[in-house]
């Protein structure tokens, strides 16, 4: 695991530890803070995300190193299960979800959408008590730092269109098809969940 100095928090420099995970979809960058998994980034071809340095942790930070290694193992295991065609338990991961109160509320509500399930921006807005807030929900999902873990790929437009996805629609199509194939061999999602 490498230590990365990054500007994740509006100009505040944080200690972030990063590692690339190879997946069938594309390499994923996993970033951990002192509080848990902070971000997952799709590594598009030719893209390099930030400078990296070897981790240098003082002996007094042994607990932090143990936490980082445990969080890394749990995350890699869960994502490995996901891409190996098993339904992962992302709810057990230690996440460092940072955003506005509204964004975090949207992300937490979205985590209730099961593997292979779908919801819409409109339904998600209703679930958090903001009927008519579909655009605001879309804005919160646009900055979701933990795609796949917080499954923004499972959110469609009210008429069933794909909408958007921070990593691109090809990745969204792949993730949706992957989940349907795992569940029943059908690459097209047949239902929409309540949230």
| DSSP letter assigned to residue 93 | S
Pairing of strands 155-156, 119-120: parallel
Say if CB 105 and CB 128 are below 8 A apart: yes
Question: Is 26 part of the annotated catalytic residue set?
Answer: no
Structural tokens at position 70: 């445990």
Q: What are phi and psi of 182, to 5 degrees?
A: -65, -40
| Alpha helices in the chain, H assignment, sequence order | 62-83, 101-110, 121-127, 134-142, 169-184
Please give the Cα distance from 89 to 149 (Å, whole number). Answer: 9
Active centre residues (catalytic): 152
């Amino acid at each position: 695991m490498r230590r990365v100095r990054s500007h994740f928090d509006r100009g505040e420099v944080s200690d972030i530890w990063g590692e690339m995970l190879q997946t069938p979809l594309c390499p994923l960058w996993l970033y951990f803070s002192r509080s848990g998994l902070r971000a997952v980034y799709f590594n598009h071809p030719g893209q390099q995300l930030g400078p990296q340095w070897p981790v240098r942790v003082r002996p007094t930070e042994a607990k932090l190193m143990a936490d980082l290694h445990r969080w890394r193992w749990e995350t890699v295991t869960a994502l490995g299960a996901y891409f190996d065609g098993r339904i992962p338990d992302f709810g057990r991961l230690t996440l460092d979800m940072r955003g506005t109160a509204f964004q975090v509320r949207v992300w937490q509500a979205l985590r209730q959408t099961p593997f292979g399930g779908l919801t819409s921006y409109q339904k998600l807005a209703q679930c958090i008590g903001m009927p008519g807030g579909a655009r605001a929900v879309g804005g919160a999902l646009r900055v979701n730092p933990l795609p796949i873990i917080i499954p923004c790929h499972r959110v469609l437009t009210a008429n069933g269109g794909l909408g958007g996805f921070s990593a691109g629609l090809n990745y969204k199509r792949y993730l949706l098809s992957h989940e349907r194939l795992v569940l029943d061999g059908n690459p097209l999602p047949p239902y929409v969940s309540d949230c």
